[in-house]
Chain A
Amino acid sequence: MSKKELRDVVKLRYATPENAVFEEKRGFVSLTFRPEDGEEKTYDRVKLQRNFPNSTPDGYLSVLDSEDNEICLIRDVEELGEETAALLRRETARRYYVFTIKKILSVNQRYGFSYWKVEAGDGVREFTVQDTYRNFRKLGADRAAVTDVDGNRYEIPSLSGLDRRSMKKIELYI
């Protein structure tokens, strides 16, 4: 329970090239931030959380400190310069890493469960899904994701880009 003033809670603070410096430090992102109404402070390690992970992956990132309090928001990583944008993108890409399904080799249904074999970005992966209808989710119009028993998420970035055979195997869930 840390001290929080009411105005801290309701005020939106955006990071700009002038008030925020993001740097890489031992594989983590550090931030030196100077709010307009406060003192400059350096955070050894900040976390980046997407506000709209599906629709706007590079915009509206919450920058959180080690206790998960929001330090500031990033409206769009591009606003902070190329180098910083690359750093932030790399960090969020890692944090939001999901497996990508390129091709579906087989889906075997058994008693409501399904055993999947897919071609992911890094070779063939096999996984098991329980309650397939609930764990297969459409994200927007053309994207979908399926979550396996362990909680790993496998994403299909473009349903329309999927080959016919793959599509046929998952048709039921869409």
Chain B
Amino acid sequence: MIEVSKMGSEIVPLLQDHGLRCEDVAVFAMTDMALDGTRADVCLVLTEKELLVITGYVRDEGRPGKKHARVFSETSCETYGSEKLKELKVEEYISTGWLTATFDGEPTELAAMTKTSLRDVRIFVKYASAKLEGREEEIDENDFKDDRFCPKCGRRYPDPERKICPHCMEKSKLFKRLFVFAKGYRRYMAAILFALCLTAALGVIAPYVSTEFFYDKVLRAGNSWYGRLLEAALLVLLLRLCSMGIGTLSGIISARVSASVTYKLKITIFSAIERLSMSFFSARQTGGLMNQINNDSNEIYWFFCMGAPELIRNVIQIAAALVIMFIMNVPLALCAVVVVPLFAFVVNRLFSRMHTLHARSYRSSRALNATLSDALAGFRVVKAFSREKEETARFNDRSERLARDSRSVTVFNNTAFPAASFIMNLSNLIVWSVGGWMAVTGTGGMTYGRLMAFIAYSALMNQPMFMLVDMASWFTACTNAMQRLFEISDAEPDVREREDPVKLDGMRGDVEFKNVGFSYEKGKKVIDGVSFSVGAGRSLGIVGHSGAGKSTLANLLMRLYEVEEGEILIDGVNVKDLSFDDLRRNVGIVSQETYLFVGTIADNIRYARPDATDEDVIAASKLAGAHDFIVKLPDGYETMIGFGHKDLSGGERQRVSIARAILLNPKILILDEATAAMDTATERMISEALTDISKDRTTIMIAHRLSTLRDVDSLVVIDKGKIVESGTHDELIRAKGQYFDLYKLQLDALRNIGITE
């Protein structure tokens, strides 16, 4: 039995009710919605003869004195005979999915589901379809690994791509890992810690010297220190100087250590990213990635440079002050700490409110920036439709919102925090009055100097309270940032080089796809059973609608993604066994999206082969049709291009990237819509040049403009991930299939505008 969803204890009796044993079931899955859209538990049971859709709900039936038993209460059951059931399909809507099929020749809906059950039902369809069609479907273990839930607490992983449960994350582990980066700075860190303890100690001594010692020893007759004012003043000065010096020194060291730790962290992350496979980037937004890395490492930097030392110092200081206060006078110490819980509670609430306000003002400022860059980038359009007024109004609206939000942040800061300080002052007031009364009556040996010392210590304790209360959120932000960074550095590339890869000296360039299957998302096949071969030095055109899977074929050949089914062979060797070096050196691609780096045109062309001579660069550009426009530029091949420099047109960029691929001189060249942005005449010229040089090179051309492909040796037409036709141009025209239709359509379009072929 293929058990797609876990079969609970309540299902076995249910099956028995229907005269079935577990062995009779071929494929089993569950969904969470009835056909009428209400919540339900639905079993999909495929046996040799039929498909049962049993709707009902599972409930816990507790009997007194007995263990709770889960019971399935059935409300309805539909049965569909296998021989009449065809084309199982999952249709996906906004929040729901529907399992449909053709039953007895008519479209029929079988079951409904929310998107939560979608994955299970898709896998059910995969195996059930195979069963119905009498195929043997290979069991893929990954289909049954339900790794959506945290094994520890059973909570759902919030991000299916990241197997991290925020509830069970071990924070100490994170910090331990961070300390690995601090290796080599152990001595400095010990120094920082020592300095922090020292500053804390000095901070604790200082109030004593300037209060009790001064009032009760220096100013009171009968003491050995009586009247030694200058010495006392010098002592205070020395203490202050010492603590200042140590503080500055530890600040400098800790800034240096944190900076180099974050530097190391960034380097590690960046090299990890470069190592990762494409699929990692598709799962995340690449744009935000670098930004996130930067922000995250800064977050860590600030926490360790500012937050952690402050935290340590304050904790020591507060602890010491508390101990001293309790030693000095227990009742008074109790008076001093009595408001602390209240204070912590209030401040905590205030901070959470403040974070909300900050987040809101941050969002408004982002919205304002977005509006601004939107309007400026689209300036031409704004002008063309004369919408200047409306754009100004839009800007005004956002700007006003930002002003309002920033104002509320400031107002809040200026009212709420003084109010919180007032609570803290309350504690002072209590200490003043109770302590004052003690000093006046002489209760508990209280003296004027001791009272002053006490008040100084309670101030020492109160000061860092604000910061301590907010420490938790700071800490959270920091662990969060560390988690994200380590996750990137931990991510395993899905596409890895074999340990002892095959080296191909002098690759010929035979390419063969054997029953290749691939999907970006589970259950949604993008490429399905594709087979074709191109002999060395031959050329192949791939035609199809956009979204048919053409570019995916190129990505698979380049091994940017890993084939799921079947294999791709180059010179008879599976690409999975080839060394990356051989693969990348021998397979060149010019893709739809051309990316040019910041640098000169020559640098960009040389990117693939840095040792190429100027002559090689010119020769490659000439072949790519780029030479002519490059020489017209005042700086020629040394014109700076890329972000912030000279803007090349789409066609020009494509020509530069073709030159780059030609310079690599690969045995296999993939042109993925490489000439789509050029005018027909230029395209014609370049494709002739390419044909010329492709004599000893395997060329795979992907295009939807058929005129691009008219010189290729053979063609495959692909639709919805499958090859629907293949052959030479003439054969396909004669076959009058999809290629013919497409050809006619494009020819008609040309005729309409007066071009005949």
Partners in one complex: yes
B118 interface residue per 8 A CB criterion: yes
Q: Which residue of A1, A122, A123, A130 contacts B158 across the interface (Cβ within 8 Å)?
A: A130
Within the complex, what minimum Cβ distance (angstroms) separates B472 from chain A?
Answer: 13
Would A151 and B115 be within 8 Å (CB), given that A1-B719, A3-B741, A171-B356 are in contact? Answer: yes
Q: Do residues A150 and B116 form an inter-chain contact, with CB atoms below 8 A? A: yes
Shortest Cβ gap from B150 to chain A (Å): 11
| Given A1-B719, A97-B94, A128 contacting B39 (CB threshold 8 A) | no
Q: Does B519 belong to the interface (CB within 8 Å)? A: no
Q: Would you give the shortest CB distance from A53 to chain B, in whole angstroms?
A: 8
Interface residues of A in 127-162 (CB under 8 A from B): 128-130, 133, 149-154
Q: Would A97 and B166 count as touching, CB distance under 8 A?
A: no
A residues in contact with B116, CB < 8 Å: 150, 152
Q: Is the CB of A112 within 8 A of B480?
A: yes
Q: In whole Å, how far is A115's beta carbon from the nearest beta carbon of chain B?
A: 8
A48: min CB distance to chain B, Å = 11
Residue interface bits B150-181, CB-to-A below 8 A is 1, else 0: 00000111111000001101000000000000
Q: Cβ of B415 < 8 Å from any Cβ of A? A: no
In the bound complex, residues from chain A placing their C-beta under 8 Å from that of B717 are 1
Q: Report whether A111 and B107 are in contact in the complex, using a CB–CB cutoff of 8 Å.
A: no
Q: Residue-by-residue, is B33-46 near A (CB-CB < 8 Å gives 1, otherwise 0)?
A: 00101110000000
Chain A's nearest CB lies how many Å from the CB of B677?
23
Asked if A97 and B108 sit within 8 Å, CB to CB, the answer is no
Is A21 positioned at the interface, with any CB of B under 8 Å from its CB?
no
How far is the CB of A98 from the nearest CB of chain B, in Å? 5
Bound-state Cα–Cα, A99 to B94, Å: 10
B687 to chain A minimum Cβ distance, whole angstroms, is 23
Give bound CA distance, A111 to B168, whole Å: 12
* Size bracket, chain A contacts: 35 or more
Give bound CA distance, A113 to B109, whole Å. Answer: 35
Question: Whole-angstrom distance between the alpha carbons of A64 and B719 in the complex?
Answer: 19
With A97-B37, A111-B480 already in contact, the answer to whether A153 and B95 are too (CB < 8 A) is: yes
Q: Which residues of A contact B108 (CB under 8 A)?
A: 26-27
Residue of A1, A149, A154 most packed against chain B (CB within 10 A): A1
Assuming the contacts A1-B545, A1-B742, asked whether A149 and B719 have C-beta atoms less than 8 A apart, the reply is no
Interface presence of B745 (CB below 8 A): yes
Measured CB to CB, the closest approach of chain A to B156, in angstroms, equals: 5
Cβ of A95 within 8 Å of any chain B Cβ, yes or no, is yes
With known contacts A1-B738, A152-B116, A171-B356, A122–B159 Cβ distance under 8 A: no
* A164 contacts the other chain (CB 8 A): no
B106 at the interface (CB under 8 A from A): yes
B402 to A: closest C-beta gap in Å: 16
Minimum CB–CB distance for A10 against chain B, Å: 13
Please tell me if B114 contacts chain A, counting CB pairs below 8 Å.
yes
Query: Is A111's CB under 8 angstroms from B95's CB?
Result: no
Q: How far is the CA of A30 from the CA of B359 in the complex (A)?
A: 50
| Residues in B713-755 with C-beta less than 8 Å from chain A | 717, 719, 738, 741-742, 745, 748-749, 752
Whole-angstrom distance between the alpha carbons of A129 and B160 in the complex?
A: 11
Task: Verify if A45 is at the interface (C-beta below 8 Å from B).
Answer: yes
On chain A, the residues within 8 Å of B738 by CB distance are 1
Whether A26 pairs with B745 at a CB distance below 8 angstroms is: no
Give the residue name and chain of the A residue nearest to B738 (CB): A1
Give the CA-CA distance A169 to B479 in the complex, in Å.
24
Query: For B298, what are the chain A residues with a Cβ–Cβ distance below 8 Å?
Result: none
Q: Name the B residues within 8 Å of A150 (CB-CB).
A: 114-116, 118
Query: B356 and A123: CB pair below 8 A?
Result: no
Which residues of A lie under 8 Å from residue B96 when comparing CB positions?
94, 97
Interface presence of B360 (CB below 8 A): yes
Contact B107 A149 (CB under 8 A): no
The 8 Å CB contact of B95, one of A6, A97, A172, is: A97
Contact between A99 and B360 (Cβ–Cβ < 8 Å)? no
Task: Give per-residue flags for B281-316: 1 if the beta carbon is below 8 A from chain A beta carbons, else 0.
Answer: 000000000000000000000000000000000000
Q: What CA separation (Å) do A4 and B93 show in the bound complex?
A: 27
A123–B39 Cα gap in the complex (Å)? Answer: 9
- A149 with B356, Cβ < 8 A, contacts A27-B109, A97-B96, A98-B95 known: no
Task: Give the CA-CA distance A122 to B738 in the complex, in Å.
Answer: 48
Q: Is A44 an interface residue (CB 8 A)?
A: yes
Residues of A with C-beta under 8 A to B360: 172
- Residues from chain B with a CB closer than 8 A to the CB of A1 are 545, 717, 719, 738, 741-742
Docked Cα-Cα span, A62 to B748, in Å, equals 28
Is A113 within 8 A of B166, CB to CB?
A: yes
Q: Are A172 and B545 in contact (CB under 8 A)?
A: no
A63 to B107, CA, bound (A): 17
Q: Which residue of A lies closest to B107 (CB)?
A: A45
| A4 in contact with B107 (CB, 8 Å) | no
Chain B residues lying within 8 Å of A122, measured Cβ to Cβ, are 38-39
* A52 at the B interface (CB under 8 A): no
The CA of A94 and the CA of B109, in the complex, are separated in Å by: 12
B42 to chain A, nearest CB (A): 15
Residues of the B chain whose Cβ atoms lie less than 8 Å from the Cβ of A154: 95
| Residue B476 lies at the interface, judged by CB distance under 8 Å to chain A | yes
Contact B158 A129 (CB under 8 A): yes
Report Cα–Cα, A95/B158, bound state, in Å. 26
Which residues of B sit under 8 angstroms from A149, Cβ to Cβ?
A: 156-160
Contacts of A25 in B (CB 8 A): 106-107
A11 at the interface (CB under 8 A from B): no
- The digit string for B349-382, where 1 denotes a CB below 8 A from any CB of A, is 0000000100110010000000000000000000
Q: Is the CB of B107 within 8 A of A110?
A: no
Q: Would you call B483 an interface residue if the criterion is a C-beta within 8 Å of the partner chain's C-beta atoms?
A: yes
For window 445-477 of B, CB contacts with A under 8 Å fall at: 476
Bound together, the chains give a CA A11 to CA B735 distance in angstroms of 30
Provide the residues of chain A in CB contact with B719, threshold 8 Å. 1
Quick one: closest B residue to A126, CB to CB? B156
Known contacts A28-B109, A130-B159; is A152 also within 8 Å of B93 by CB?
Answer: no
Residue of B nearest to A47 (CB): B91
Contacts of A128 in B (CB 8 A): 155-158
Contacts of A130 in B (CB 8 A): 158-159
Q: Which of A91-134 contact B (CB under 8 A)?
A: 94-99, 110-115, 122-123, 128-130, 133
Can you report 12 A-B residue pairs in the complex whose CB atoms are below 8 A from each other? A1-B741, A2-B741, A6-B749, A26-B107, A26-B108, A28-B109, A44-B107, A98-B94, A98-B95, A114-B158, A151-B115, A152-B116
Q: Which residues of A pack against B, CB within 8 Å?
A: 1-4, 6, 25-28, 44-45, 94-99, 110-115, 122-123, 128-130, 133, 149-154, 171-172
Interface residues of B (CB under 8 A from A): 35, 37-39, 93-96, 106-109, 114-116, 118, 155-160, 166-167, 169, 356, 359-360, 363, 476, 479-480, 483, 545, 717, 719, 738, 741-742, 745, 748-749, 752
The 9 residue pairs across chains A and B that have the minimum distance between CB atoms: A113-B158, A110-B166, A150-B115, A111-B166, A1-B738, A151-B115, A45-B107, A152-B95, A150-B116
Q: A128-B157, A152-B114 are in contact. List 17 more A-B contacts (CB 8 A).
A: A26-B106, A26-B109, A45-B107, A95-B94, A96-B94, A97-B96, A111-B166, A111-B169, A111-B483, A113-B159, A114-B158, A115-B155, A123-B39, A130-B159, A133-B363, A150-B114, A154-B95
